Amino acid sequence: MLPGALQPLFWDYRAKSLDWDSDADLITARVLASGEWNAIQWLRRTLGDDQLRSWIEARHGRGLDVRRLRFWELILGLSNRRVTSWLREPGRQVWEQRVQR
Q: Which residues have CB under 8 Å from 79's CB, separation 6+?
A: 73
Residue-range definition of the domain harbouring residue 29: 4-100
pLDDT band, residue 41 (cuts 50/70/90): very high
Average pLDDT over residues 61-78: 94
- How does pLDDT run across 11-39, given as a tens digit for each residue? 899 877 888 899 999 999 999 999 999 99
Give the count of domains, the chain: 1
Q: What is the pTM of this model?
A: 0.84
> What distance in Å separates the CA atoms of residue 80 and residue 97, rounded to the nearest whole number?
21
Name the E strands within the chain: none
Residue 100 pLDDT? 56
> What distance in Å separates the CA atoms of residue 14 and residue 69, rounded to the nearest whole number?
28
> What distance in Å separates the CA atoms of residue 77 and residue 20, rounded to the nearest whole number?
25
